[in-house]
Amino acid sequence: MRFVFLSWRDSTHPDGGGSEVFVERVAQELAARGHQVTIRCARHGAAPTREWLGGVLIRRAGGRLGVYPRALLWLLGPGRRYDGVVDVINGLPFASPLVRRRGVTALVHHLHREQWQIIYPGWPGSLGWFVESRIVPRLYRRLPFVTVSEASRHDLIALGLPEQSVTVARNGLDVTRSKAQEAPTPTLAVCSRLVPHKQIEHAFVALATLSHELPDLRLDVVGDGWWRDRLEADAERLGVRDRVTFHGHVSESERDRLLAEAWVHLLPSVKEGWGLSIMEAAAQQTPTIAYLSAGGVNESVQDGSTGLLVADLDGMITASRRLLVGHAERARLGRQAAERARRFTWGATADQVEKIMISGGRRS
């Protein structure tokens, strides 16, 4: 069959993250099964307008907002020949049901209630949330939805979507255990896009607080984004800039090495659909501390078994201290995290998505 994913970004975009990895890995799995798969996304930098990646055709057209009308126009033309469309709703929808009645599946990682006001304070954020929470449920009500956690599923149902229309297909994982060992000195890591709602500055506060007890403590920040300058200024203001290494975008093997060397991985994000970096750290036997209120992390972290879930920043600092000095508990959580991470595969994720696209898409 011929499938197309309509996505705001791809993984090579400067703001690309876990959502884009999900789309591309599922698309590659479908392509490996004989389907013809295309991803349409926004142009950025010097990226080519047409590129093959793992058997999947990447077509880039339009900018940050222009990608949406360009995709709709394409659906009215060449896109009519495709059997299935996956409309990736990353805050804003592509509104594909306006031009196509059959074969549409909606993919939502998580809702963005908190992020809208963090990134676009005032009426722009309120408008964004209105579109996501009021327009999307009406426009897509008769379509099948895919999301990545039970937390996100419950949020979608709370907006008025029928329970039977929302299916959970959790993120897969294909990283291997790095040969690197735990660093000789206490090390924290954050693996994330550098954007406001990830709250990376919370890790700096934890670092500053705990450095009085652990003078050799340092922090590796893996990832990049448009908020980096602000974060570097925050690290300077808190007096920990010399203890923080901003690695930027790195290769998968380098990411795995840094996560393997870390004693503890922190994810202070406001909201996550799942938290792919949690499982990437788990594969390296590194436990994660995250916020209980952040949605999908309640499922990617099993509290007390593969990591710790906390209520607030004070709790994150306390939990970090507990694992940094508690070698036996940290090792136990790391072993159990790695064992659990081996159960998640992109093949299993693609099985669920493929079934929904074929059967659910036809029902729409």
Query: What integer pLDDT is reported at residue 359 of this predicted model?
Result: 77
Domain identity same for 294 and 320: yes
pLDDT per residue as tens digits for the range 49-99: 999 999 999 999 998 899 999 999 999 999 999 999 999 999 999 999 999
Q: Global pTM?
A: 0.88
Q: 291 in a domain, yes or no?
A: yes
Q: 167 in a domain, yes or no?
A: yes
> How many domains would you assign to the chain?
2
113: pLDDT strictly greater than 50: yes
Domain identity same for 26 and 99: yes
Q: 276 in a domain, yes or no?
A: yes
Q: 178 in a domain, yes or no?
A: no
Domain identity same for 217 and 164: no
Query: What integer pLDDT is reported at residue 102 of this predicted model?
Result: 86
19: pLDDT strictly greater than 60: yes
3-state secondary structure of 89: coil
SS3 annotation, 250-290? CCHHHHHHHHHHCCEEEECCCCECCCHHHHHHHHCCCCEEE
CA gap 264, 174 in Å, rounded: 21
Domain identity same for 105 and 44: yes
SS3 annotation, 40-87? EECCCCCCCCEEEECCEEEEECCCCCCHHHHHHHHHHCHHHHCCEEEE
Q: 180 in a domain, yes or no?
A: no
**Total Cβ atoms within 10 A of residue 38:** 19
pLDDT per residue as tens digits for the range 251-276: 999 999 999 999 999 999 999 999 99
pLDDT per residue as tens digits for the range 313-332: 999 999 999 999 999 999 99
Q: 204 in a domain, yes or no?
A: yes
**pLDDT average, residue stretch 201-216:** 97
Domain identity same for 94 and 202: no
Domain identity same for 287 and 162: no
Q: In terms of residue numbers, what domain contains 219?
A: 187-341
Domain identity same for 119 and 252: no
Query: What integer pLDDT is reported at residue 364 of this predicted model?
Result: 43
Domain identity same for 197 and 284: yes
Q: 96 in a domain, yes or no?
A: yes
Mode of pairing for the β-strands spanning 187-191 and 84-88: unpaired
Domain identity same for 19 and 155: yes
Q: 350 in a domain, yes or no?
A: yes
CA gap 290, 308 in Å, rounded: 7
CA gap 72, 100 in Å, rounded: 9
Domain identity same for 192 and 272: yes
Edge-to-edge, what's the strand order for the sheet holding 50-53?
50-53, 56-60, 36-41, 2-6, 84-88, 104-107, 145-147, 166-168
Domain identity same for 281 and 333: yes
Domain identity same for 352 and 226: no
Residue entry with tokens 């998580």: 110
CATH assignment of the domain containing 23: 3.40.50.2000
Residue entry with tokens 């060397």: 261
Query: What integer pLDDT is reported at residue 15 of this predicted model?
Result: 83
**What share of the chain in percent tops pLDDT 90?**
89
CB–CB of 146/353 below 8 Å? yes
Q: What is the DSSP letter of 360?
A: I
Q: Residue 363 — pLDDT band, cuts 50, 70, 90?
A: very low
Closest CA to 242 of 222, 217, 265, 264: 217
Beta-bridged to residue 248, according to DSSP, are: 222, 223
